[in-house]
Amino acid sequence: MKYIRINSFKRLFFFGKRSFFGEEDVKSLVNLPLDQHPPRPSWKCFSYEQLFDATNGFSSENLVGKGGYAEVYKGKMNDGKEIAVKRLTKTSRDDERKEKEFLNEIGTIGHVCHSNVLPLLGCCIDYGLYLVFELSTVGSVASLIHDEKLNPLDWKTRHKIVLGTARGLHYLHKGCQRRIIHRDIKASNILLTTDFEPQISDFGLAKWLPSQWTHHSIAPIEGTFGHLAPEYYLHGVVDEKTDVFAFGVFLLEVISGRKPVDGSFQSLHSWAKPILNNGEIEKLVDPRLEGAYDISQFKRLAFAASLCIRPSSTWRPTMNEVLEIMEEGEIDKEKWKMAEEDDQVEEFWGFDDLDYDYNSSFSMSFPDSTGST
């Protein structure tokens, strides 16, 4: 992909915007009273030269991450500010789809403002597409949880991470002008500040859901193995409960220190489910903690996780309810009891003869999938 003309940028951005809103939804946004319009984004446009200089010419030594359609480089601006630059990768196929997803990310994250969501500093459209963020010098939750060379995270830090992530996700679902479904909540997409405050990042798969829609049917199916809710994997159905399921897996990952999919291709939630059902929740705790954890807090997190990973989205809590369970007050377990048959579901994916990284994303299409309201 060579230099993208401004007209192409505008065309793609408008196309991306139409994918977020239906025609009537766009009209309602345009006709809002002035004081009800979303706040003007605070991010700015960077020049290609600024980003080139900051990353030392996008040197391989500055490459800190690589995803399905983008690379992330660390850099330092002339004023000393450390940044992370997400650059759309140049490939010969699916370029237009990747550009659309990239521009969707700008349209989504450019209007959010919460301490537990990674803020967008700006973008660049010279000689490609670039997003600019503050650099997380600590790294992601995944890098700290699973690096055996590092000391294990203490319980207090883990508790802080899951609470902050839950608050950020609740904000995306309920606190924004439009509902945002992230679709890729996982430990590697939760970055940490220097004081271990979590920030949700990577909105490349996010969907902006109009308020009158109950859900959205999506094709192709995209996401990360081990984190996909059954209704999404099987039918492409996306709503807030899709993120709730993924958060449940993330919660189990932080509690247990285990990866979302182990070496035998068993998913974390399928490993944890019988333990939770049998009330043997102590088996979930990361043994590296050596018993140093708050038992009351742990029971709350374990119960919240058990609800989030339920196969039926109807019986999963909202993120507001998850926060209520995790933070304080009496837990009404009777409220969450459901019929036994509603809790039964076949393992909805197979890993036979599959060679992949547990944290890798994938994409698949259904032949007759259509959008739905």
Residue 178 DSSP SS3: coil
Task: Name the token pair of 81.
Answer: 């500010």
Which residue reads 């969907």 in tokens?
A: 207
Which amino acid is present at 151?
N
Q: Is the dihedral of CA 158, 164, 169, 170 positive or negative?
A: positive
Name which of 231, 233, 246 is nearest 186 in CA terms: 246
**184 flagged as catalytic:** yes
The DSSP H or E segment spanning 198 is strand 198-200
The three-state (H, E, C) secondary structure of 281-336, written as one string:
HHHHCCHHHCCCCCHHHHHHHHHHHHHHCCCCHHHCCCHHHHHHHHHCCCCCCHHH
**Are 105 and 21 contacting, i.e. CB atoms less than 8 angstroms apart?**
no
Residue 157 DSSP SS3: helix
The DSSP H or E segment spanning 54 is helix 48-54
Q: What distances in angstroms separate CA 93 from CA 96, 99, 248, one per listed residue?
A: 8, 11, 35
Beta bridge partner(s), residue 124: 130
Q: Does 86 carry a binding-site annotation? A: yes
Q: What distances in angstroms separate CA 311 from CA 127, 181, 299, one per listed residue?
A: 45, 18, 21
Catalytic residue (one of 25, 184, 243, 286)? 184
Can you say which residues are annotated as belonging to the binding site? 86
Can you say which residues are annotated as belonging to the binding site for ATP? 86
Residues with a catalytic annotation lie at 184
